[in-house]
């Protein structure tokens, strides 16, 4: 019988709420954080383009099991649209594909906002991670192919015009749901206003359920590389970690005792007692003494674990 290979790295778990700098890719950021912590596992919740800055939640260890709950959360973006040019990538990176001398008035921009609020149909950018016949759209676009990307529904909860610094640009804030492409908003604004447009600045200050105050600049983390003692350096890094359960604050919570925690970790259901005990919930999480034990469902008055944490 083959022996199981021991995972490389430290069994550290938690969320790092990184303030990603511009010109730093999301995959690159995850690799850097994983290397700093010498973590066994790492992943992120919601890609940020290299030209975008702001909140990139990075999960380490067991926290990777909670990534879907953050991916589904609301997000806020602050962005600048520059008028007069449409680009292949819908941001500064791409080649200019359309130009116009027209510039929209503030009144015309404001009149457009209601069209892009609520549940809307959106065509993702050609340079996006959408899969077309098993291939990423951005891979096909880099090979010079123009592909038909189907529209999909996204939800815009709030869209605000923050200001117009000059006739060539406008600044916005949007609060939106999963799968929204802000670059596509800029592209479609420009087309509707008859002047073309692209994203020239983009920042994400918020990904639910994490607060903006939790953001940690990458420079603060890399500065700790100067600490020579491994134990001291890892302890300093872990001061910045957010507990894994913070990703689950929007789920019902089931506090359990040590004996119940033991049963759950073995994959067994437990009966929930008390007048206020929930009877049916499609998803909930259980914790004991502040430690996350499992994510599961509540059915017929029982908590039934699906994902157990170490």
State if pTM tops 0.75: yes
- Starting from the edge strand earliest in sequence, which strands make up the sheet with 291-299, in order? 253-255, 281-288, 291-299, 302-308, 270-271
Where do the domains of the chain lie, and which CATH numbers do they carry? 14-72+210-244 (3.30.2350.10), 75-207 (3.30.2350.10), 251-308 (2.30.130.10)
What is the reported pLDDT for 127? 58
Contact 151, 179 (CB under 8 A): no
Q: Phi/psi at 187 (nearest 5 deg)?
A: -60, -45
Q: Which is the catalytic residue, given 19, 49, 62, 90?
A: 49
Written as tens digits, the pLDDT of the chain (310 aa) is 455 666 788 999 999 999 999 999 999 999 999 999 999 999 999 889 889 999 999 999 999 999 999 998 999 999 999 999 999 999 998 899 999 999 999 999 999 999 999 999 998 876 556 555 555 545 545 655 667 677 899 999 999 999 999 999 999 999 999 989 999 999 999 999 999 999 999 999 999 999 999 999 999 999 999 999 999 999 999 999 999 999 999 999 999 999 999 999 999 999 998 877 888 899 999 999 989 999 999 999 999 999 999 7
In the annotation, is 49 catalytic? yes
CA distance 118 to 182: 15
């Amino acid at each position: 019988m083959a022996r199981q290979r021991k995972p490389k790295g430290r069994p550290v778990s938690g969320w790092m709420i990184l303030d990603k700098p511009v010109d730093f890719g999301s995959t690159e950021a995850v690799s850097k954080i994983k290397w700093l912590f010498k973590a066994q596992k790492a992943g992120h919740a919601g890609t940020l383009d290299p030209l975008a800055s702001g909140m990139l939640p990075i999960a380490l260890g067991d926290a990777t099991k909670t990534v879907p709950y953050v991916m589904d959360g609301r997000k806020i973006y602050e962005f600048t649209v520059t008028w007069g040019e449409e680009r292949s990538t819908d941001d500064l990176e791409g080649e200019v594909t359309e130009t116009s001398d027209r510039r929209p008035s503030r009144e015309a921009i404001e009149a457009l906002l209601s069209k892009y609020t609520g549940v809307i149909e959106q065509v993702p950018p050609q340079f996006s991670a959408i899969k077309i016949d098993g291939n990423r759209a951005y891979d096909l676009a880099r090979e010079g192919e123009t592909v038909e990307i189907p529209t999909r529904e996204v939800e815009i909860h709030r869209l605000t015009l923050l200001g117009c610094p000059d006739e060539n640009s406008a600044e916005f804030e949007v609060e939106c749901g999963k799968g929204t492409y802000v670059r596509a908003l800029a592209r479609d604004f420009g087309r509707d206003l008859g002047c073309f447009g692209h994203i020239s600045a983009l920042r994400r200050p918020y990904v639910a359920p994490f607060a903006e105050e939790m953001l940690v600049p990458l420079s603060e983390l890399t500065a700790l590389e100067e600490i020579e003692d491994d134990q001291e350096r890892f302890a300093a890094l872990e001061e910045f970690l957010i507990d894994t359960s913070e990703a689950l604050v929007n789920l019902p919570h089931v506090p359990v005792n040590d004996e119940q925690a033991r049963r759950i970790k073995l994959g067994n259901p437990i009966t929930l007692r008390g007048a206020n005990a929930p009877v049916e919930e499609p998803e909930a999480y259980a914790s004991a003494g502040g430690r996350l034990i499992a994510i599961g469902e509540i059915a017929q008055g029982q908590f039934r674990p699906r994902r157990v944490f170490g």
